[in-house]
Amino acid sequence: MSSTVEVATAFQAPKGTRDVLPPESARWEALVGLFAARARRAGYGLIVTPMFEDMGVFERVGESTDIVRKEMYDFHDKGGRHLALRPEGTASVVRAYVQHRPVTPFKTWYVAPNFRYESPQAGRYRQHHQLGAEAVGSNDADLDVEIMDLAWGVCSALGLRRVRLLLNSMGDGECRPPYRQLLLEYLERRAGELCPEHRVSYAANPLRVLDCKREECRQVTAEAPWQLDHLCGPCQAHFERVREGLDAVGIPATIELRLVRGLDYYTRTTFEFAAEALESAQNAVGGGGRYDGLAEALGGPPTPGIGFGMGIERMLLACDAEHTFPVPEDLLDAFVVDATGGRAARDLSHDLREAGLRVDRVYDARSIKAGMRVAGRSGARFALVVGEDEVVKGVVGVKPLREKGEQVEVPREALVAHLRRALEEGS
């Protein structure tokens, strides 16, 4: 297998972005495949939305959030439109729902790059990729459970054992405003004790103070009123039904009163998946919740929704930390070595690939000896050797590369059947 080195060149991938090359990219493929299969099994279809939207779409996810205020990749196009690269997936999905009005529940999944102008560090990038799912059009608490079950199932299937589901409720239009007021009054009384940032900004978004990591804020909020103690009847019933559902499907959830999430659209259920094997600042491998007011904010009819997104990069970092989900072995069936100028390799590899075999070949008209060295490094099961003799006889030399064995001559027309049999025997 090839390995890579870093070379100082005139152009590098932009700060906060990274290239994903083979063989590492095979893990991405496998992760996306695993996610897609599970999402499909639960009735979610793939949705593809544009990488950029009208800036207004993303402003609706929260004008007081860092994502919108500080981290947007926004620009004016040549027609004067104010657009922005997608910082997250939910707003685009709900915009598409409002635009197309599909039947509900509208259940979709996606895999997409997202752009946030963050300070890059391990597990935090300016372009990251999310696998996510959204269910739009139903209030049913069982959908909350289904969504968390999907994310949990993906973590389990990857072999992650040290991921915790953190759960909270943010209330709704009925109980959030009075709670917010209560919290605001509490923070006003103790504003002088807050961290320098929140001392000036707490009034704009008092809930964000709850998940501030600084010690001053932690101490003040330790005694703060919590939303969970101030839910209205329907939100309380919804939360109970979610907890009952998680219990029933065997997903352990930890109530996290500080969990307010970094986007403004959440109502009722909010959750995060925390990978304990990662540094705590970047250990959220996924997160989501309900957004029952978002469709209306985007100009549609009042329509509830719930979903989650998980960061591919962070999921794979968690897998590394837990030594699970290695790069899958995707080895070649055969490698063609042609010392007669390359035409045989060209035609043979075409025929074998059409027959469904995984085949690579030597290029640049190498000698048999040099070709065999490349074949050996390729990890293929068999080298297929074509020299002048083989061409004259109409045969191909088949030599096992991963186990001991002599080279045998196989007639060209019997090659596919021969290889299939040999591969079967060895598998």
Residues near ligand HAM, by CB under 6 A: 88-90, 116, 118, 123-125, 128, 130, 132, 134, 262, 284-289, 307-311, 313-314
| Residue among 25, 45, 272, 38 at smallest CA distance from 129 | 25
Q: Which is nearer to ligand HAM, 293 or 311 (CB)?
A: 311
Q: Which is nearer to ligand HAM, 209 or 316 (CB)?
A: 316
Nearest approach, Cβ of 54 to ligand HAM (angstroms)?
Answer: 17
Nearest approach, Cβ of 306 to ligand HAM (angstroms)?
Answer: 7
Given a contact cutoff of 8 angstroms between Cβ atoms, the answer to whether 330 and 380 are in contact is no
Nearest approach, Cβ of 283 to ligand HAM (angstroms)?
Answer: 9
Q: Provide the 3-class DSSP secondary structure of residue 109.
A: strand
Please, how many CA atoms are within 13 Å of residue 38, restricted to the half-sphere of its CB?
A: 22
| Residue among 157, 121, 164 at smallest CA distance from 33 | 157
Nearest approach, Cβ of 168 to ligand HAM (angstroms)?
Answer: 13
Q: Which is nearer to ligand HAM, 115 or 335 (CB)?
A: 115
The strand pair at 52-54 and 45-46 is best described as unpaired
Q: Nearest to ligand HAM by Cβ — which residue?
A: 311
| Residue among 309, 279, 344, 376 at smallest CA distance from 116 | 309
Q: Which is nearer to ligand HAM, 286 or 304 (CB)?
A: 286
Nearest approach, Cβ of 89 to ligand HAM (angstroms)?
Answer: 5
Q: Which is nearer to ligand HAM, 92 or 349 (CB)?
A: 92
Length reported for the chain = 427
Q: Report the amino acid identity of residue 97.
A: Y
Q: Provide the 3-class DSSP secondary structure of residue 195.
A: coil
Given a contact cutoff of 8 angstroms between Cβ atoms, the answer to whether 195 and 212 are in contact is yes
Nearest approach, Cβ of 118 to ligand HAM (angstroms)?
Answer: 5
Q: Which is nearer to ligand HAM, 128 or 198 (CB)?
A: 128
Cis peptide bond prior to 225, omega within 30° of 0: no
